[in-house]
Structure 1
Amino acid sequence: MASIKPDRTVVYKTVGSLQIPMDIFLPKNVRNAPVILWFHGGGLLQGCRDSIAPYQRDGVQKYGYVCISADYRLAPQVSVGEVFEDVKDCIRFIRNNLSCLLGEGLVDASRLAVSGSSAGGFLTLLAGLYIDPKPHVIIPIYPITDPLGTFFNKSQPAPNGRYSASEEEMAVHLDVNAPPIANSGKAPEDPRSNMYVYMLRTATLAQLWGVAGNEDDVAPYRISRRIHEYGLPPTYLLHGDADTAVGVEQSDEVAGAILGCGGTLEYERPHGEDHFLDKEDDYQNDKLYNFVMRYL
């Protein structure tokens, strides 16, 4: 993957001594640019903001938007509800502070799209459901949509031969009393990068998110079941039908609910494509951006 450097990095939230940053990528010679906010994947258990795909960064100049890639606190040291508090605070910061931070007239922070990959796609869908006012458009990319869905309720093999760590190896990262962190490193240097595969093997997503065993606790996070009540803004959904890290039925259920409620949806479901289908340097998706810019 090509090296990608942000134009600015700022802290949008501080919790105790923990600072939570965002990277900002700016278009050249553009005034009143809209914002696309992106959240990384990793099951809410691992990952960091610098995993943003090249096409998302390249689109800043091609389409003239401000791109923001934000970290958030990771489970199980915080619950999924606390992670979503970070999302809400991030969006609040963008709407209230970004124009002043970047200079008058450069950005129109009221024109907001939210996107994210995998668990970041899940956070994107939460933002589409519950943020008020809603984003103009959302782009969930091979998203998790239901921690109690069939895929996450049964043991899954390690995708693409990735390492499957033991509980003993993951013990320090499974400790709910350990200090929270807002990003993690990459394999093989950082053992926490094995958390997602551990979760798949042990079928413990809801447990690690802190919502297992109580339907009232988990209900807000079963996306397709909330769309009728809360609605979603226009949605571009991308999910390969051969995904081994998040079963495509997770997106199928959400797509069905959106259409059943009369929502606006473009569902791209490429045949034979796995997780990370958009991560190569040469990946482009004009269809996605044409949809998104229509609503920004």
Structure 2
Amino acid sequence: MKTVCYKAVGDVHLLGDFYSTGQANSPVVVYIHGGGFIFGSRGEIPRDQIEGYNTAGFHVFSMDYRLAPETRLTAIAEDILDAIHWLQSDASAELGIEPSSIGVVGHSAGGYLALLAGAREPKLRAVVSFYGYGDIRAAWATGASSHYLQKPIVPRKLADQLIAGEVLTEASVQQRFGLYLYCRQQGTWVQEVTGLDPEWDQSELQALCPVEAVTAQYPPTLLLHGEQDNDVPYTQSVQMAERLEQVGVAHTLITLPGEDHLFDLQKDKESVRHVFAQELDFLRDHLL
């Protein structure tokens, strides 16, 4: 594994961990972690997934990005594109990659960022979204979550204490889940991570919705979602699939009946192993 800096913003260095196949000019899978834009880091990619991608012939670039609410979602999206553009233009000799064969794989908020990258960088060869979402204007995102309201209520004072006075690029779930939980319980999540008001800034929010940005040039896409997801509704992937179908983009929606958010961490389940095999087949079809 090699850690590299793909971008600097003032004194903040944005890092990525590069896991090589050992073969020059291999395609690259850019891995985008989840965490509601509020927590997470490049180190969260499971070891078995790295090995699966490498064995299948793909380098892996697991990246950090600036976290919300200290950094707004528009800037976070720029980080994702800047990492892709760095791989396309500057990293070929240093890392031994094939710059014309890059795919993005994201989980949850990372799935959303992968879908948004697909809309903004048509040269991507593939997009994979694990329980991502295409519409952050919808009630599931802008309203209070009935699922999270069943958990102990996070007081405002505690949530405020979890907001840093500086730019963050890494934060553990233990450190910052309370802030995410507070936002979902209060129905302020979208407002906190975007700095936009869902009622008054609808055009600006629309520009941040992948489902509104799909064109015929959108990259081939794989959507994976548990049917009983209590965090991100399964309908979010259904809507993306319908939009991709409308404009004739190659895509596949894989539904996991009975599964919730983070289903992919159940690596000993036969159904989950089968899903990863299907994902690798999809990536082989479009990157190799």
- For 1:113 and 1:166, locate their aligned partners in 2 and report how far apart those are by CA, in whole Å: 40
Q: TM-score scaled to structure 1, two decimals?
A: 0.88
Residue 200 of structure 1 corresponds to: 184
Instruction: Tell me, yes or no, if the aligned pair for 2:149 and 2:185 is still in contact at 8 Å.
Output: no
Instruction: Tell me, yes or no, if the aligned pair for 1:118 and 1:246 is still in contact at 8 Å.
Output: yes
Q: 1:8 aligns with which of 2, 6, 19?
A: 2
In the alignment, structure 1 residue 64 sits paired with structure 2 residue 57:
yes
Which residue identity does 1:78 align to in structure 2? T
Instruction: Tell me, yes or no, if the aligned pair for 2:196 and 2:205 is still in contact at 8 Å.
Output: yes
- For 2:47 and 2:286, locate their aligned partners in 1 and report how far apart those are by CA, in whole Å: 23
- For 2:148 and 2:255, locate their aligned partners in 1 and report how far apart those are by CA, in whole Å: 19
Listed one character per residue, the Cα deviations across residues 20-79 of structure 1 (whole Å, up to 9, x for unaligned) are 111111113x23210000111111111111111344212233201100110100111121
Shift of 1:196: 2.2
Which residue identity does 2:157 align to in structure 1? E
Residue 142 of structure 2 corresponds to: 153
Shift of 1:201: 0.9
Q: Structure 1 pair 66/216, CA: closer, same or farther in 2 (3 Å)?
A: same
Summarize the alignment of residues 276-291 of structure 1 with structure 2, pairs less than 5 Å apart: 276-282=262-268, 283-284=272-273, 285-291=276-282
Q: Structure 1 pair 231/241, CA: closer, same or farther in 2 (3 Å)?
A: farther
Which residue identity does 2:104 align to in structure 1? V
Secondary structure at the counterpart of residue 45 of structure 1:
coil
- For 1:121 and 1:293, locate their aligned partners in 2 and report how far apart those are by CA, in whole Å: 19
Q: 1:114 aligns with which of 98, 104, 110?
A: 104
Q: Structure 1 pair 161/56, CA: closer, same or farther in 2 (3 Å)?
A: farther
Gapped regions of structure 1 (runs ≥ 5): 1-6
Q: 2:210 aligns with which of 213, 223, 229?
A: 223
Q: Structure 1 pair 160/57, CA: closer, same or farther in 2 (3 Å)?
A: farther
In the alignment, structure 1 residue 37 sits paired with structure 2 residue 30:
yes
- For 2:107 and 2:207, locate their aligned partners in 1 and report how far apart those are by CA, in whole Å: 20
Q: Structure 1 pair 141/163, CA: closer, same or farther in 2 (3 Å)?
A: farther
Residue 16 of structure 2 corresponds to: 22
Q: TM-score scaled to structure 2, two decimals?
A: 0.90
Q: 2:40 aligns with which of 47, 62, 66?
A: 47
- For 1:16 and 1:111, locate their aligned partners in 2 and report how far apart those are by CA, in whole Å: 30
Residue 159 of structure 2 corresponds to: 170
In the alignment, structure 1 residue 210 sits paired with structure 2 residue 186:
no
Instruction: Tell me, yes or no, if the aligned pair for 2:33 and 2:106 is still in contact at 8 Å.
Output: yes
- For 1:108 and 1:161, locate their aligned partners in 2 and report how far apart those are by CA, in whole Å: 47
Gapped regions of structure 2 (runs ≥ 5): none
- For 1:161 and 1:32, locate their aligned partners in 2 and report how far apart those are by CA, in whole Å: 49
Instruction: Tell me, yes or no, if the aligned pair for 2:116 and 2:210 is still in contact at 8 Å.
Output: yes
Instruction: Tell me, yes or no, if the aligned pair for 1:125 and 1:223 is still in contact at 8 Å.
Output: yes
Percent identity over the alignment is 27
Instruction: Tell me, yes or no, if the aligned pair for 1:125 and 1:138 is still in contact at 8 Å.
Output: yes
Secondary structure at the counterpart of residue 269 of structure 1:
strand
In the alignment, structure 1 residue 143 sits paired with structure 2 residue 128:
no
Instruction: Tell me, yes or no, if the aligned pair for 1:243 and 1:273 is still in contact at 8 Å.
Output: yes
Shift of 1:231: 4.3
In the alignment, structure 1 residue 95 sits paired with structure 2 residue 88:
yes
- For 2:77 and 2:29, locate their aligned partners in 1 and report how far apart those are by CA, in whole Å: 18
- For 1:13 and 1:289, locate their aligned partners in 2 and report how far apart those are by CA, in whole Å: 29
Secondary structure at the counterpart of residue 135 of structure 1:
coil
